[in-house]
Every structure is written in C-alpha cells, then in structure tokens.
Chains A and B, each alone.
Chain A
Amino acid sequence: MKRVKNIKVLLDKYLEGETSHTEELELRRFFATAKHLPEDMAAYKPLFAYFDKEAMTEKQPHSARRLYFRYTWSAIAASIFLFLSIAGYNGYSHQSKDYVIINGEKSTDVRLAKEQARKALAEVSFSQEDIADDLIPQDMKETVQ
C-alpha cells in the first residue's frame, strides 16, 4: 500500500514533467506487473506499456548518455588492459628466467654464477701494461715518450 502511495506521488510529478529518467523507469516497472489498479491509475498501464515497447524496439540507440557510457566502458576496459599488461610485464621480468650452465649443469644460483664468472675472468685478464700496449696507438706512445 505504501508503494502505491509512492507511485501516486511519482505520477503527479510525471504529469508535471518533473520526474527523472530513473523514476520513470520505476513507474514503468510498477505498471508492467501491476494488477487490480484503482481506476484513476488504470490509464497509465497502457501508456507505460507503450513506452516500454517503443524503447525496446528503438533501432537507433543514440542517446548522448548511452554514448558517454559506451566511451566510459571503453575507457575502463582500456585502463584495465593497460594495467594488466604493465603488471604482467613487470611480473614477468621480476621472475628471472636467466640461468648459467656450469660444467654442463644448468644453475640459477646467482652467487655460484658470479664466483665462476670472476674465476673465468681472472684467467683471461691482462696486466696493466698489456692493456696499455693494446689500446694506445703506436704513434701516440712515441709522442708521450
């Protein structure tokens, strides 16, 4: 009964052109299922049924609001995609896939790898003089002397 009272208030607003679209949808929902209506309300049943029918069959969904909605949803979808790709990329790079092969065995132990690398580098390292000989051109050395 309280609902009927509320609907009556909305109907008065509706006739004055003061209802919002949401309130009008509420009216439509009410009249779509309403039975045994008081006489003064019965006229609204076919009215809202007509609007309901027309809104469903309306072939050009081109309301400004709907358009904004479409953009909003695309924007949300795009941001989610962007977020996921960045998060995914970072996650991927944090999870190291690097490995070394020491004596034919695959290893991901960083410390072991560094130690082995230092040893290997020590074997091939040159003395200061060797480096100077290699890097400084012959004619430059002459001018220095």
Chain B
Amino acid sequence: MELKEFKIEVLPLRGKMGGLARKILSDPIDAEDAVQEVMMKLWDKRQQLDDCRNVEAFVMTMTHHTCIDMERVKKTGAMSTDYLQLADTGNSVEHLCELKDEVEIIRHIIETLPELQRNTIRMKDIEGYENEEIAEITGSNVETVRSNLSRARKKVKTIYLMTIKKRNNI
C-alpha cells in the first residue's frame, strides 16, 4: 500500500478513530495525539495492510489499544504524559551519565520520548520526510507536526545538556 491507497483506505477512517479515542481518553488533545500516533504506526505497517482482510477493524483495534496504553500511562502518574516522561528521565539522567559515548546518550534519550514525539522525530530526522508529508500521512495539519517536532527536539537537547553537565561534575 502506498500513499495513494493509504489516503483512500486509511485516512477516511480518521473521524471514526477520533471518536473512539475521545471516548476512551477524556482529554481531546490526548485523543488527537493518539490518532496521530496510530496513523504513524499504520504508515509504518502499510505493507502488512495489503494482506489485511478488514482494514477498518484492524485500524480500530489498533486505535483502541493505543488509547488504552495512553490512559494507563496517565493514570499511573495522574499527570500529563509529557510531564511524566520528564520525571522519568530525571531519574535516568544518572544512568545516562554512565554512557561514555555521546551518540549513545542521544539514542537513549530519543528512546524514552513519548511515542508520538519519538515517531515524529524518526520520520523527519531519520526517514527524511518533510513536515507536509508527515501531516498528509497522519491526516493532521503542518502546524501540529511542527509543534510536535519542536517539542521533541527541544526536549532531547535539554536532557542531553543535563546529562553532560551532571557527567562533568562527577
């Protein structure tokens, strides 16, 4: 399945996905994040979608699982996923300090980013898509993509600088 088929078969399900996401997640912003995340996962699995007999069922199941996961993460901390993630990395900065190689530190930081931010970084910085293409694939607007990307990049930089500072003090 390529972009053309993806746009015809998957993107129209976005409204339905959003409805399901809003039912599970009370925050509409989280629901939109969940839908974007599912879209990216689906784009990643688009080769498998060709063999899928019922694309809609597959998409809705994936949306359901993603929302449940997000809800679980939120409940355990009773705070926004973003904040939780930073608190997490606060603990792991010490662990990161043990890494000698700076590139490995970056890898670890990116791996601990919330899934949507991590996927946005992966599509833009590693796979080389433009913001417009990511927006097209996820059915969102360019501004949302840009802001996700910006949040993710700034966070990576901040955590990296924290790690290096701490490492130099040891």
Contact = CB atoms under 8 A, between A and B. Distances in A.
Interface of A: 14-18, 20-21, 24, 43-47, 49-51, 53-55, 58, 62-67
Instruction: Determine chain B's interface SS by DSSP, over half rule.
Output: helix
A62 B2 CA distance: 9
A42 B126 CA distance: 20
Contacts of B47: 62
A46 B128 contact: no
Contact of A20 (B103, B130, B164): B130
6 contacts: A17-B148, A46-B105, A47-B157, A63-B129, A64-B133, A66-B128
Given A17-B147, A46-B102, A46-B106, 7 more contacts: A15-B157, A17-B124, A20-B130, A24-B124, A50-B110, A55-B127, A64-B3
Contact of A17 (B103, B153, B156): B153
A17 B149 contact: yes
B150 interface: yes
A51 B156 CA distance: 13
B126 to A, nearest CB: 5
A43 B161 contact: yes
Contacts of A14: 153
Contacts of B131: 17
Nearest to B153: A15
Contacts of A65: 128-130, 133
Q: Which of the four size classes fits the interface of chain B?
A: 20 to 34
A54 B125 CA distance: 9
Given A15-B157, A64-B2, A43 B164 contact: yes
Contact of A47 (B2, B128, B160): B160
A73 to B, nearest CB: 16
A45 B103 CA distance: 9
B126 A55 contact: yes
Given A21-B129, A55-B128, A67-B2, A47 B150 contact: no
Q: Quick one: which of A14, A16, A46, A64 has the most chain B CB within 10 A? A: A64
Nearest to A25: B128
Contacts of A58: 126-127
Contacts of A62: 47, 127
Interface in B110-158: 110, 124-131, 133, 137, 145-150, 153-154, 156-157
Nearest to A14: B153
B132 to A, nearest CB: 10
Contact of A50 (B106, B128, B137): B106
Contacts of B110: 50
Nearest to B126: A54
B6 to A, nearest CB: 9
A20 B124 CA distance: 9
B134 to A, nearest CB: 10
